[in-house]
Structure 1
Amino acid sequence: MYDLTGFQRDLLYVIAGLDEPHGLAIKEELEEYYEKEIHHGRLYPNLDTLVEKGLVDKGQRDRRTNYYTLTRRGRREIKARKEWESNYIDIQYDGISV
C-alpha cells in the first residue's frame, strides 16, 4: 500500500466499508468526506489503477454499472496498514484503544 496515493487508499477504505459499491456510491462517500466534488476523471482512473494492482475486483451489474470489491490482497493490505499505523497512533475513545 506504500505506493498508493492517499486518494487511492481512501478509495480502498470506502470500498471495504460498503457492500459491492458502484462508482457513484463511492464518489458520494468521498465527496462527503472531502467536502468537495470528486470528478469522474479523477475517480475512475484511480479505481482502474487499484484493479490493475490486484487490490480491487471490478464486476458488472448491468451494461452501464460496475461494482467494486476488495480482493484478498486488498484486505491484507488494509490490515497491514492498520497494524503499521497502530505502531504510531494510540488513541483512546470512551476507554477503548483504537
Structure 2
Amino acid sequence: MIIETISYLCTRCQSANIYKNGHNKSGNAQFRCKDCGRSSVLKPKIKYTEEQKELMINTYLERGSLRGMQRLFGVAPQTLMGWIKKSKQQEIE
C-alpha cells in the first residue's frame, strides 16, 4: 500500500504550523496559521482569468450595474469593486 502525505505551508510566513479552521461560504476549507495568525484558503475553487476580469471591469465601466454583473457573470459585487479599485490604482502609477 502506498501512502501519500501532503504538507501545506502558510501562504504568508511559509510555516508548517497550520490547522483547519472551518469552511468559508463557498465550502472551501479554511486554515489558520499558529505563527502569524493568518486565516486563508489553501486551494480556492473559483479562479478568474485576467481576460475575464478585464471583461467584467470594462462592462462595469460601460455603466453596467453591480447587480446585473452578479447575475451575468456570477461574481460578487465586493470582488468586482476590489478589482476596479486595483485597476484604478494601477492607472495612477
How would you bin the TM-score normalised by the shorter chain?
A: 0.3 to 0.5
Structure having the higher helix fraction is 1
TM-score with structure 2 length normalisation?
0.32
TM-score scaled by structure 1? 0.31
